[in-house]
Structure 1
Amino acid sequence: MRPILAITIYAKSNMDRWKIDVALAELSQLDKTFSHRTDPESGHVVVAGEGERQLRQLIDRVLHDTAVTAELSEPQVIYYESIRAEAQAEGRYIRPSNYAQVRILIEPRSRDEGYEFSNELGDNRLPAPFLHAIDQGIQDAMLGGVLAGNELVGIKATLLDASFHETNSNEMSFKIAASMALKEAARRAKPVLLEPLMSVEISYPEQVMGAIIQDLNHRQGRVEGMKTVNDIHLIEATVPLRTMLHYEADIQSFLQTHVTCIMQFKRYEASPLKLP
């Protein structure tokens, strides 16, 4: 499962950031449900995972074990990008001492299948290090999509053509050319922003049913079922995660009654959000 939420840890010093990073690296060997990275601009550690409760428990453990005091960001929903059509594009990187030309085809895949690279040139048309560099250049470019800079997922890339110069070609040139080709092909392939949807089960007093449904509609949710189990009233719905952060606290404050909510990740789906 891909991470759906991220929290940034604002440590007070470089030493504290180092302690947090080391502790997370050790935990990640045992727990594969989260990932962490250092933001290249701020230098702060960002932890991503499957839900807010998981992330807060994990971060609390790390801060306790390292005896570090830090502030935390609000949870940030993780978006991805994908494509809805096939497209071809060429990337050319030509300089006085660099030469690489690459043409690729990209096709949409199931988002669960991930990335695939295919070579239609045959084994002898291009030196193996250049072929590897093309594959790597495509994957590097997929880390920042063409809509809002989110990671591109669910793509098959096929190398259709490539040319090199006996003395001026190198691996870096082919990585750059492949990256250029991927970006241009993605712009032509009907790119789409993906957001996480959650399966939601809400239990509530019967007298607030109408308000619960109205609130779910406001949160762009889709009610998919209603039932009563042992005198407990339940609504089942599919709702974008971005509208459900802090849901229990917000809805209980609004209705002044006890409401519980169980959320599980369901799938990523095209988002209606308007991008600038």
Structure 2
Amino acid sequence: MKAPEPNRIRNLGIISHIDAGKTTVSERILFYTGETHKLGEVHEGTTVMDWMPQEQERGITITATSTACRWRDYWLNLIDTPGHIDFTIEVERSLRVLDGAIAIFSAVEGVQPQSESVWRQANRYAVPRICLINKLDRVGADVAATLKQMEERLGARPVLMQLPWGLEGEFRGVIDLLDAQALSFVESDQGATVESSEVPEELREAAARGREALVEAAADFDDAVMDDFIEGRPVTSERLRAALRRGTLACRLQPTFLGAALRNKGIQPLLDGVVAYLPSPLDTPPIKALDPNSDAPLELPNDPQGPLCALAFKVLADEGRKLTYLRLYSGRLAAGDMLFNSTRNGEDRLARLFLMHAHKRERIDEARAGDIVAATGLKDVLTGDTLCRREQPLLLAGLTLPEPVVSVAVEARAVEDREKLGPALEKLQWEDPTFRVREDAETGQTILTGMGELHLEVVVDRLNRDFGVQVKTGRPQVVYRETLTRAHRHREVFERDIDGRRHQGEVLLRLEPQARNTGLAIELAPSVAELPAEWRTLIEESLRQACRGGVRAGYPLIDLRVRVEEAPLIPGQTTDLGLRAALQRGFALAAREAAPTLLEPVMALELTVPSDYTGKVLGTLQQKRGQVEGMQSRGAVDVIRAQVPLVEMFGYMTELRSATKGRGTYTLEFSHFDQAPPETLRRFGW
């Protein structure tokens, strides 16, 4: 396969709320680009991108899946991401390496909670986006309402590139505002043929107004277009595309397309929008890296002749071996290369390189800057690691990882399962940085911690199917946090003879509570900050370890500032062991005197219920200590936004179905930690 030119590459992802149509759009893209010859359907469990049995059975995307295809003379590296909040890490690590994204919204439900989450993630990485308002064939489809929600709830600037040609059951196609054409999609060949015709008489006035709004948006990014717009002169489609592309690359507007993916309508114009408005690797700013030897910042342009720099953004346990997904930002990579892992200061030899088509592989010999590929042979590489050459080490920023909030105890069913459980859990942790495993010191149980009930349910299912390990599980438990409610200063001196040697250490610590959701801060007084680097590292690592162990209930401490005011070193007497012991004992005693308390996770809840049942549902929320933040009517249904403690939400779907006769739905997303109620404190012996 001949490598495409960098300006002809588009690295893009598809992001949205669950059930907005991401995988359905992905399947149509693969079909219309000729990558597949049969349309797969989510509801039939036959899609290419949702290849895991757990995905096909549930009809949802669980893991981000990559593929590659061609549209016209462009090469598309496409990643289909999950929409469920439990698998948000898949969106996070995909957006970290992508150059652009398609954000999909349902024309019926509009902007939903996970739509907001993925939009914020894309903002964090400054990923340019185009949008698709999907499901225009559904009853209740409302383009104007969706656009308004995008502006109000996302702070977006959607620029409508098309008008709908009919709506709901009458949806026939779209009106292209740039070229003033009516586009319809032939049903007999599953929408593969796009027919263009004149704009219908009844839509010409609306199309003229729509194009004027489009020209006005483009004028903000091209002074010549602005002059023509003010003077009333016509502007060619090519000039408008160039201006809109500049606005898209700057993340200041989002060209917005219309369609009904399940009915095979609107996908080809969306693909044209991908190549017209989303960036190539050459359009992205140089990636920022550090020289780990000097901490000197560097900027690396997308150059195959530059120094090798790649980010491992995903690791899979594929038939027991690691399959590592890489994004190359600079340089070239070939099978057999020796790579330096600057994150872990180790080396690995790359065995083989692949282009991925969901879970199928296409072997390649070389990858260049701008490519997204998979590799085997990298035994010690994990998500977020930087790969480079030893002679020119480089280090990239890692990933922002959300904190898991639900845990469950598991135990092996049989002796043979017990032997396989540990290695299987280790492989699952390779894949998912939000999945944690620990052993309860008191009970000896293995505790799995994840982002939610569904996340842990999938993990347990995979233990059985993928690794042949059968386990018994307990009830899901909330993962709490501890914090302090008042400041305290404590001096600790440690002196002891161990194995015939005198160990000594001394510290003066001050612990201060901080505002909610500020995390953990460790400060060193000026005299301590002047200590050698190895002593400063020992101090910080010891204190972070102490915070992870908690004070009373064993949960990590947050919203806390720890200041090391003194740490005198006596030559010949102060030892690593002595200082570490003084730090850990001093911290534990100080924390106990600083009035520790427990924090519980609070979730952002959005309910969609028929108006007839709204009062009943609000009553159940009050019983669950829920705080309603707002309510909006959308025709015959009400959308309720509330904050509810996670501990109250286990099994809520059954309650909601009962209260609304099966017609209510909800989405749940972690919001913050807040003070646990007295009954919870009493349960933990506070």
**TM-score, structure 2 normalization:** 0.37
Matches within 5 A, 1:156-175: 156-175=561-580
Residues 141 and 122 (structure 1), Cα distance of their counterparts in 2 relative to 1, 3 Å cut: closer
Query: What residue number does 1:10 align with?
Result: 411
Deviations 1:87-108 (A, max 9, x none): 3211222224332221012334
Q: Out of 416, 428, 447, which is 1:46 matched to? A: 447
Query: What residue number does 2:645 align with?
Result: 240
Query: What residue number does 2:426 align with?
Result: 25
Would you say 1:208 and 2:208 are equivalent positions?
no
Query: What residue number does 1:120 align with?
Result: 526
User: CA shift at 1:265, angstroms?
Assistant: 0.9
Query: What residue number does 2:509 align with?
Result: 104
SS of 1:138's partner is helix
Query: What residue number does 1:74 align with?
Result: 475
Q: C-alpha distance in 2, partners of 1:61/1:11?
A: 14
Do the aligned partners of 1:90 and 1:180 also contact (CA within 8 Å) in 2?
no
Task: Return the structure number with greater relative CO, CA threshold 8 A, min gap 6.
Answer: 1
Residues 128 and 227 (structure 1), Cα distance of their counterparts in 2 relative to 1, 3 Å cut: closer
Matches within 5 A, 1:126-137: 129-137=534-542
Q: C-alpha distance in 1, partners of 2:618/2:409?
A: 33
**RMSD after superposition:** 2.5
Residues 241 and 26 (structure 1), Cα distance of their counterparts in 2 relative to 1, 3 Å cut: same
Deviations 1:197-220 (A, max 9, x none): 111122233333222112111111
Do the aligned partners of 2:522 and 2:540 also contact (CA within 8 Å) in 1?
no
SS of 1:163's partner is coil
Do the aligned partners of 1:11 and 1:44 also contact (CA within 8 Å) in 2?
no
Is there any run of 5+ residues in structure 1 with no aligned partner, and where? none
SS of 1:268's partner is strand
Do the aligned partners of 1:109 and 1:155 also contact (CA within 8 Å) in 2?
yes
Deviations 1:164-212 (A, max 9, x none): 5544432122111111221233234443321111111222333332221
**AA aligned opposite 2:526:** E
Deviations 1:63-93 (A, max 9, x none): 2111122111111100001234433211222
Q: C-alpha distance in 2, partners of 1:180/1:40?
A: 19
Query: What residue number does 2:258 align with?
Result: none
**AA aligned opposite 1:38:** E
Q: Out of 253, 260, 276, which is 2:665 matched to? A: 260
User: CA shift at 1:140, angstroms?
Assistant: 2.3
Q: C-alpha distance in 1, partners of 2:652/2:440?
A: 28
Would you say 1:227 and 2:632 are equivalent positions?
yes
Q: C-alpha distance in 1, partners of 2:442/2:529?
A: 41
Query: What residue number does 2:584 align with?
Result: 179
Q: C-alpha distance in 2, partners of 1:145/1:181?
A: 13
Do the aligned partners of 1:136 and 1:175 also contact (CA within 8 Å) in 2?
no
Do the aligned partners of 2:407 and 2:450 also contact (CA within 8 Å) in 1?
yes
Query: What residue number does 1:90 align with?
Result: 491
Residues 188 and 231 (structure 1), Cα distance of their counterparts in 2 relative to 1, 3 Å cut: same
Identity rate of aligned residues, in percent?
Answer: 27
**AA aligned opposite 2:520:** G
Is there any run of 5+ residues in structure 2 with no aligned partner, and where? 1-401
Count of aligned positions: 274
Do the aligned partners of 1:133 and 1:172 also contact (CA within 8 Å) in 2?
no
**TM-score, structure 1 normalization:** 0.87
Q: C-alpha distance in 2, partners of 1:166/1:249?
A: 66
Do the aligned partners of 2:483 and 2:513 also contact (CA within 8 Å) in 1?
yes
Q: Out of 191, 198, 208, which is 2:596 matched to? A: 191
Report which stretch shifted further, 60-69 or 5-14. Answer: 5-14
Q: C-alpha distance in 2, partners of 1:167/1:143?
A: 31
User: CA shift at 1:252, angstroms?
Assistant: 3.3
Deviations 1:255-276 (A, max 9, x none): 3722322111111112223333
Query: What residue number does 2:195 align with?
Result: none
Do the aligned partners of 2:523 and 2:562 also contact (CA within 8 Å) in 1?
yes
Query: What residue number does 2:460 align with?
Result: 59
Q: C-alpha distance in 2, partners of 1:115/1:128?
A: 18
User: CA shift at 1:112, angstroms?
Assistant: 4.8
**AA aligned opposite 1:160:** E
Q: C-alpha distance in 1, partners of 2:418/2:602?
A: 32
CA radius of gyration, larger in? 2
Residues 81 and 142 (structure 1), Cα distance of their counterparts in 2 relative to 1, 3 Å cut: same
Report which stretch shifted further, 130-139 or 260-269. Answer: 130-139
Q: C-alpha distance in 2, partners of 1:93/1:15?
A: 46
Report which stretch shifted further, 95-104 or 37-46. Answer: 37-46
SS of 1:27's partner is helix
Do the aligned partners of 2:528 and 2:536 also contact (CA within 8 Å) in 1?
no
Do the aligned partners of 1:137 and 1:174 also contact (CA within 8 Å) in 2?
no
Do the aligned partners of 2:521 and 2:561 also contact (CA within 8 Å) in 1?
yes
**AA aligned opposite 2:503:** N
Q: C-alpha distance in 2, partners of 1:123/1:248?
A: 52
SS of 1:252's partner is helix
SS of 2:554's partner is coil
